[in-house]
Amino acid sequence: MELLPHLEVNPEKTPEASVIWLHGLGADGHDFEPLVPALSIARRLPIRFLFPHAPAIPVSVNGGYVMPAWYDIYEIQIERRVDEQQLSESAERVAALVEGEIQRGVPENRIILAGFSQGGAVAYHLGLSGRFDLAGLLCLSTYLATPAGQPGADRKRAATGPFPVFIGHGDRDDIVPVSLGVQAAEKLAALGWKVSLHRYPIEHTVSPQEVADIDQWLAEVLLTPQ
């Protein structure tokens, strides 16, 4: 499978961990690249950051306008309908990036899968599938586009134990309501995942306090012996 086009931010030393960060609807891999200098963990541990670009496809809720998107969204209501086949295809392409990092010498349990909004939904879809024993999931202003606990997840968790999940969401988010972030946190906690939910007085964006919390969480996950 051809790898998704992506940006890479490489450390000076051989990477000991990787973070694959998926952007939201209509953005691209450049969206979160500027956050790297703000993360002190990147100066304490050699981490490779990958920022993939989603393909450009028509998006139904935007009148069929072609834009970077991980999957089509049919409806924008709370119980939103999405193109699950496209979601799965995007998850497969991200899985190829994970496998690529493993082949480059980064163990799967040293790989963080991160995503904002639509990218976070893809991160959930792949991360909860049980395909990889990741270091953790970082899901921002997002939602579970498919039911939690996909086939294989119980088998993987039984073998390795659940890994940490950081969920960050703005209380004033009018694109992805905070109730969806809370719902995801409650569902995953009930399934045994190590969830930490962080709420902020912001809209559909990321705040400086959230970046600081992400930095602390990454340090806890990647620097603390598991």
- What are the domain boundaries of the chain? 6-223
Number of C-alpha atoms within 13 angstroms, CB side, residue 190?
8
pLDDT at 82: 86
Q: What is the mean pLDDT of residues 55-66?
A: 92
Question: Cα-Cα-Cα-Cα dihedral of 104, 109, 112, 113, to 10°?
Answer: 90
Is 31 known to be catalytic?
Answer: no
Catalytically annotated residue among 60, 133, 196, 204? 204
Please tell me the distance from the alpha carbon of residue 16 to that of residue 47, in angstroms, as a whole number.
6
pLDDT at 78: 57
Please tell me the distance from the alpha carbon of residue 148 to that of residue 125, in angstroms, as a whole number.
8
Choose among 49, 54, 5: nearest CA to 214: 49
Q: What is the mean pLDDT of residues 33-45?
A: 96
pLDDT at 155: 47
pLDDT at 87: 94
pLDDT at 79: 63
7-21, 147-161, 198-212 — which is least confidently predicted? 147-161
Catalytically annotated residue among 18, 90, 117, 141? 117
pLDDT at 3: 82
Is 28 known to be catalytic?
Answer: no
pTM, two decimals, is: 0.93
Q: What is the mean pLDDT of residues 16-34?
A: 96
Does the structure show a pLDDT above 60 at 119? yes
- CA 3 to chain centroid, in Å, comes to 17
- Are residues 116 and 25 in contact, defined by beta-carbon separation less than 8 angstroms? no
Please tell me the distance from the alpha carbon of residue 143 to that of residue 25, in angstroms, as a whole number.
13
Q: Evaluate whether the domain defined by 6-223 bears CATH number 1.10.3730.10.
A: no
Higher pLDDT, 140 or 79: 140
118-127 vs 84-103: helix crossing angle, rounded to 10 = 70
Catalytically annotated residue among 28, 31, 72, 173? 173
Does the structure show a pLDDT above 90 at 225? no
Is 173 known to be catalytic?
Answer: yes
